Amino acid sequence: MGGGASTAASTNGTKPAPKRSMFATKREDCQILVVGLDNSGKSSVIAWLKSTSGKGPSNKASATASTSAPLEVVPTVGLQLEEFSRGSVNFKFIDMSGQSRYRELWGSYFREAQGVLFVVDATDRLRMAVAKDELRLVLNHEQVAHRLNSLPFAFLANKMDLDGAVDSIELAVLLGVDEAFQHPWLMVSTCATTGEGIEQAMSWLTEKISASTSCP
């Protein structure tokens, strides 16, 4: 079996999250990009979030009400936009397909993004180097490189339920995410089919976004 839920996080000097999120009292819009290689579980993560948001299932993925039942998803072609509310926050998730021929579509979305969910198939050791290259591409993007403190990254070491999954600490090493990583970051082991770990990642991400000036 893959490792249990584990977490690694940035220790850089970003300002601490407030005790109470500014999202708590009024509805806010929040744009989060979901990035990762194909088959990493991006659509499944969004489907789980949507299935637990109190609204209907995703257009792309059919999610059952039970969080323990597998979610049916199909490969993303190009970009997939999902908008829904969770609590007092209106989320706009953009699932950016990991298929390389669509990467030129990324630019305008990074400009508007307030946070990034970077999803990795933690069992796919063969493609860890590719995932690392993908992360480099994102970090070097002109709309990302100048927002070091205001664009938080939540990394999901997904498919933790499967044999051979690396845990979040090992994944941080494999991706080269360490003290030198210049964005606020958190690395969480997740299972997108049950939702394990996703709430933790989202809570951290929304706190970071609300603490920054990039969310109205």
The closest of 47, 61, 35, 57 to 154, measured between CA atoms, is 35
Q: Which is nearer to ligand GTP, 56 or 75 (CB)?
A: 75
Q: Which two tokens stand for residue 214?
A: 């990039």
119/186 with CB nearer ligand GTP? 119
User: Toward ligand GTP, which CB reaches closer, 10 or 193?
Assistant: 193
Looking at the Cβ atoms of 18 and 70, the one nearer to ligand GTP is: 70
Residue-level length of the chain = 216
CB of residue 56 to ligand GTP, shortest distance in Å: 18
Whole-number minimum distance, CB 159 to ligand GTP, in Å? 4
- Judged by the rule CB under 6 A, the positions of this chain that interact with ligand GTP are 36, 38-44, 73, 75-76, 97-98, 158-159, 161-162, 191-193
Of 87, 86, 83, 51, which Cα lies nearest the Cα of 70? 51
CB of residue 96 vs ligand GTP: minimum separation in angstroms? Answer: 8
For every residue of 10-55, DSSP letters joined together read: --S-PPPPPSS-GGGTS-EEEEEEEEE-TTSSHHHHHHHHHHTTTS
Q: Which residues are bridge partners to 96 per DSSP?
A: 35, 79
Shortest distance, position 195 Cβ to ligand GTP, whole Å: 9
